[in-house]
């Protein structure tokens, strides 16, 4: 049976989770955000504050609207606070075992009608769904970075997802002002399935010193009209996340286009994670544009 989604729980307040909390609250939903530690919650709150302050400075939000957003959002470390949510979305790091354990826990905490959703970009939604006793009420709900800006949301159905659940989640995405697309459960879904072979190839090209990072990025911006070059996109996504996505896609597809370029693993190990760590292919000021060093 179809239901209106008005309260949403978000577990994980990293780059994506915090962005998603903002999107939900801006659309008027009540949001409960949870992360594992007070520090992680504080970082999540700071991300939302920074993003909404930027929107206010650009005249996209009034100060009152910014305040209203925070009034609709409750952030904390207690997972049971999502108990009354109509839908709970997890946005924790891409580790299957962790996500399965979280889904099993949410399955116990939440009422039987609550929809459980994952923002995974490459793990199997089906494998996550079977960690619960409600696999027909589990979907993928995959946002793009930066979540407040990118219009696409991929809604992933498994072979057992109830059509009503799918329809409710598509309706939610539309209410958020997004353009939802529906896809089956395959690593990378539609957009990452196409995008990451290209990003990986760009990292290889840079690794082979075929061209500079600036020229690789400039070629795609000025030759193909893309808003950002591929190495800047990798820094935006996060090198650790990009590596995990490629690994998962390669494991499933065995397509060598998805075999992660060695430089990505080296950068991940060395902590060059892109924007979030201040250095990736480029070096960043706090949250600003690349500083060329
Ligand atoms: N958070 C919130 N808002 C942001 C933001 C951020 N991190 N970065 C930019 N914005 C907002 C700005 O406030 C501005 O809003 P406004 O139009 O309402 O005033 C708008 O975005 C445009 O920003 P700018 O004018 O500063 O800069 P650009 O015009 O260069 O746009 C961009 C920035 C939207 C990031 C654009 O460069 C872009 O679309 N880049 C490509 C991003 C991309 O490819 N994302 C997909 C990554 S893959 C992925 O996410 C999948 C996942 O599974 C890993």
Residue 120 has which token pair? 């995974």
**228 CA distance to ligand 1 centroid (A)?**
9
For 51-82, how does the pLDDT look when each residue is reduced to its tens digit (9 = 90+)?
999 999 999 899 899 999 999 999 999 999 99
> Most distant CA pair in the chain: distance in Å?
57
- Residue 1: pLDDT band (50, 70, 90) is low
pLDDT, tens digit, 9 for 90 and up, residues 120-156:
998 999 999 999 999 999 999 999 999 999 999 999 9
**Residue for token digits 């500083």?**
291
151 lines ligand 1 (CB under 6 A): no
Q: Residue 4 — very low, low, confident or very high, per pLDDT cuts 50/70/90?
A: confident
> Residue 263, class by beta-carbon neighbours within 10 Å (0-12 exposed, 13-18 middle, 19+ buried)?
middle
Confidence of residue 115 (pLDDT cuts 50, 70, 90): very high
Q: Are residues 179 and 101 part of one domain? A: yes
For the chain, what is the mean pLDDT?
A: 95
Please check whether residues 53 and 160 belong to one and the same domain. Answer: yes
Per-residue pLDDT band for 287 (boundaries 50, 70, 90) equals low
> Looking at residue 238, which CATH number applies to its domain?
1.10.1040.10
Q: Residue 121: inside a domain, yes or no?
A: yes
Is position 97 within any domain?
yes
Strand 290-291 relative to strand 73-76, pairing: unpaired
Domain hosting residue 251, numbered range: 191-281
Query: Is residue 121 in contact with ligand 1, taking CB distance under 6 Å?
Result: yes
Q: Which atom of ligand 1 is nearest to the CA of 237?
A: 54
pTM reported for the whole predicted model: 0.93
Same domain, 100 and 171: yes
pLDDT digits (tens, 9 = 90+) for 261-270: 999 999 999 9
Among the candidates 183, 209, 234, a domain finishes at 183
Whether the per-residue pLDDT at 105 is higher than 70: the answer is: yes
Which of residues 162, 183, 204 is at a domain's end?
183
Query: Is the domain of 125 the same as that of 217?
Result: no
Domain boundary among 153, 183, 213: 183
| Residues counted in the chain | 293
**195-231, pLDDT tens digit by residue?**
999 999 999 999 999 999 999 999 999 999 999 999 9
Residues 6+ apart with CB under 8 A from 39: none
The structural domain count of the chain equals 2
In this structure, are 218 and 125 located in the same domain? no
Catalytic (active-site) positions: 121, 142, 154, 192
As given in the structure block, the two tokens for residue 281 are: 């292919």
Query: Do residues 170 and 232 share a domain?
Result: no
Three-state SS for 110?
coil
Share of the chain above pLDDT 90, in %: 93
């Amino acid at each position: 049976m179809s239901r209106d989604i008005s309260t949403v729980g978000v577990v994980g307040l990293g780059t994506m989770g915090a962005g998603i909390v903002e999107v939900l609250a801006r659309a008027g939903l009540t949001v409960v955000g949870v992360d594992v530690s007070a520090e992680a919650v504080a970082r999540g709150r700071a991300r939302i504050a920074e993003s909404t302050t930027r929107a206010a400075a650009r005249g996209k939000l009034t100060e009152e609207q910014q305040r209203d957003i925070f009034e609709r959002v409750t952030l904390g470390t207690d997972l049971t606070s999502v108990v009354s949510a109509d839908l709970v979305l997890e946005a924790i790091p891409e580790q299957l075992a962790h996500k399965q354990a979280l889904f099993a826990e949410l399955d116990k905490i939440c009422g039987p009608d609550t929809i459980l959703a994952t923002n995974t970009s490459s793990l199997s939604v089906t494998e996550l769904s079977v960690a619960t006793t409600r696999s027909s009420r589990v979907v993928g709900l995959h946002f793009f970075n930066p979540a407040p800006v990118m219009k696409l949301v991929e809604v992933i159905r498994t072979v057992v997802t109830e059509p009503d659940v799918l329809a409710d989640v598509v309706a939610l995405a539309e209410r958020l002002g997004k353009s939802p697309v529906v896809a089956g459960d395959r690593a990378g879904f539609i957009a990452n399935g196409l995008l990451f072979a290209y990003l990986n190839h760009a990292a290889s090209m840079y690794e082979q010193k075929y061209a500079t990072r600036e020229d690789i990025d400039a070629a795609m911006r000025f030759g193909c009209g893309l808003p950002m070059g591929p190495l800047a996109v990798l820094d935006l996504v996060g090198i650790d996340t990009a590596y995990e996505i490629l690994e998962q896609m390669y494991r499933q597809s065995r397509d060598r286009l998805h075999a992660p370029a060695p430089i990505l693993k080296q950068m991940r190990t060395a902590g060059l994670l892109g924007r979030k760590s201040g250095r990736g292919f480029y070096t960043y000021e706090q949250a600003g544009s690349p500083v060329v060093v």
